Chains A and B, each alone.
Chain A
Amino acid sequence: MISPKFGIVVFPGSNCDHDAYWVLRKLIGYQTDFLWHKESDLKESNVIVLPGGFSYGDYLRTGSIARFSPIMNEVISFAKKGNTVIGICNGFQILLEAGLLPGVMLKNISLNFVCKDVYLSVENRETKFTKGIKTDSALKVPVAHGEGNYFADNNTLKELVDNNQVVFKYSSKDGEVSENYNPNGSAMNIAGIINKEGNVLGMMPHPERCSDPVLNKTDGSLIFKAIANNIFN
Chain B
Amino acid sequence: MFKATVLIKRRSTILDPQGKAVEIGAKHLGLNNIANTRIDKYIQFDVDAKDKNAAEKEVAEYCKKLLANPIMEDFEFTLSEWTPSEEEV
A residues with a Cβ closer than 8 A to B are 56-57, 59-60, 64-65, 67-70
Contact = CB atoms under 8 A, between A and B. Distances in A.
A59 B22 CA distance: 7
Interface in B20-40: 21-22, 24-25, 28-29, 39
Interface string B17-61: 110011011001100000000010000000000000000000000
Contacts of B21: 56-57, 59-60, 65
B39 A60 contact: yes
Contacts of A59: 17-18, 21-22, 39
Main secondary structure of the interface of B (DSSP, over half): helix
A160 B24 CA distance: 33
B24 A57 contact: no
Contacts of B28: 68-70
A97 to B, nearest CB: 10
Contacts of B18: 57, 59-60
Most chain A C-beta atoms within 10 Å of own C-beta, residue among B18, B25, B29 = B25
Nearest to A67: B25
Contacts of B39: 59-60
Nearest to B29: A68
Contacts of A70: 28
Contacts of A69: 28
A148 B25 CA distance: 23
Contacts of B25: 56, 60, 64-65, 67-68
A63 to B, nearest CB: 11
Contacts of B24: 56, 65
A23 B29 CA distance: 33
A65 B21 CA distance: 8
Nearest to A55: B21
Contacts of A56: 21-22, 24-25
Contacts of A60: 18, 21-22, 25, 39
A42 B24 CA distance: 21
B40 to A, nearest CB: 13
B32 to A, nearest CB: 13
Nearest to B19: A59
